[in-house]
Amino acid sequence: MGGIDPLYILPEEYRPKLIITDGEDIPLIDLLPITNRDSSDPKALQELADKVGDACKTWGFFTVINHGVPSGIRKKIMEVSRKFYALPLEEKLKVRRGDHNTAGYHNDEHSKDIKDWKETFDFYVNDGMLMPASHEPDDPEVVPWFTPWPHNFPEFRETCQEYGRECEKLFFNLMELVSMSLGLPPKRLQGYFENQASFARLNHYPPCPNPELVLGTGGHRDPSALTVLAQEDIEGLDVQRKSDKAWVRVKPIPDSFVINVGDILQVWSNDLYESVEHRAVVNSEKDRYSIPIFFHPSHDVVMKPVDELVNEQNPAKYPEYKAGKWLNLRMYNNYKKHGFYMKMTDFKIEA
CA gap 215, 204 in Å, rounded: 13
Structure confidence at residue 110 (pLDDT): 64
Q: Please enumerate in sequence order all residues whose Cβ is within 8 A of that of 331, keeping only pairs 6 or more positions apart, or say none.
A: 102
Q: Has residue 194 been placed in a domain?
A: yes
Domain-embedded: residue 136: yes
Cα separation, 337 vs 216, whole angstroms: 15
Residue 246 placed within a domain: yes
H or E stretch covering 64: strand 61-65
Predicted confidence at residue 342, as pLDDT, reads 62
pLDDT number for residue 135:
74
Instruction: State the CATH number of the domain containing residue 56.
Output: 2.60.120.330
Please tell me the predicted confidence (pLDDT) of residue 307: 96
Residue 1 falls inside a structural domain = no
Q: Is residue 261 part of a domain?
A: yes
| Cα distance between residue 6 and residue 136, in whole Å | 34
Q: Which domain holds residue 97?
A: 6-347
Residue 222 belongs to a domain: yes
pLDDT attached to residue 38: 78
Strand, coil or helix: what is 218? strand
Measured distance CA(311)–CA(198) in Å, rounded: 31
Are 338 and 330 spatial neighbours (Cβ–Cβ below 8 Å)?
Answer: no
Per DSSP, the residues of 9-65 read: PPPGGGSS--EE-SS----EEE-HHHHTGGG--HHHHHHHHHHHHHHHHHTSEEEEE
Give the pLDDT confidence of 133-166 residue by residue, as tens digits: 777 777 888 888 899 999 999 999 999 999 999 9
Question: How much is the pLDDT for 99?
Answer: 67
Residue 211 lies in a domain: yes
Tally of domains in the chain? 1
Position 82 in a domain: yes
Q: Which residues of the chain have pLDDT under 50?
A: 1-2, 336-340
